């Protein structure tokens, strides 16, 4: 009985921390840095993970161990998805680091294999040598 109470308390604390982070994220008054977001979302994941390990070590029932493992891993996964979505789609320092450092992001290559196709095309056109193409692709 005590194991289940501790399990519920840790789960409630973790959910409250995540809800607190979401309230701050969606609120207009306070802006969280990316580091603070990671701290807010990693803390409940670590609490749940440590709780899961302790609950499994202390339990003698195999059914309870499997139930706790599944429950905690699902909660950790849900918190992870929430953290990734908030980091990607809600403004943070991680998304806008280029603006803070005055990077020119117009020339960023995000098309897969664009440079490799360009090197191979230059080899076919005869504007580059096999050695130059191999060196550029290899680095």
Q: What is the pLDDT of residues 49-92, one digit of tens each?
A: 999 898 888 888 888 889 888 988 999 999 999 888 887 777 65
* Spacing of C-alpha 111 from chain mean position: 22
pLDDT at 50: 92
The answer to whether the beta carbons of residues 67 and 51 sit under 8 Å apart is no
> Which of the four pLDDT bands, split at 50, 70 and 90, describes residue 110?
low
Distance CA 21, CA 41 (A): 7
pTM strictly above 0.85: no
pLDDT at 12: 92
Instruction: Out of 60-74, 94-108, 117-131, pick the least confident.
Output: 94-108
């Amino acid at each position: 009985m005590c194991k289940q109470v501790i399990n519920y308390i840790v789960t409630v604390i973790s959910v409250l921390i995540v809800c607190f982070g979401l309230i701050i994220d969606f609120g207009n008054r306070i802006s969280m840095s990316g580091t603070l977001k990671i701290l807010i979302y990693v803390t409940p994941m670590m609490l749940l993970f440590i709780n899961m390990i302790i609950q499994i070590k202390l339990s003698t029932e195999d059914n309870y161990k499997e139930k706790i493992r599944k429950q905690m891993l699902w909660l950790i996964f849900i918190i992870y998805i929430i953290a990734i979505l908030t980091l990607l789609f809600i403004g943070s320092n991680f998304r806008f680091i280029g603006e803070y450092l005055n990077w020119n992001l117009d020339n960023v290559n995000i098309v897969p294999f664009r440079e490799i196709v360009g090197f191979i095309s230059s080899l076919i056109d005869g504007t580059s040598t096999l050695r130059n193409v191999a060196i550029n692709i290899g680095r």
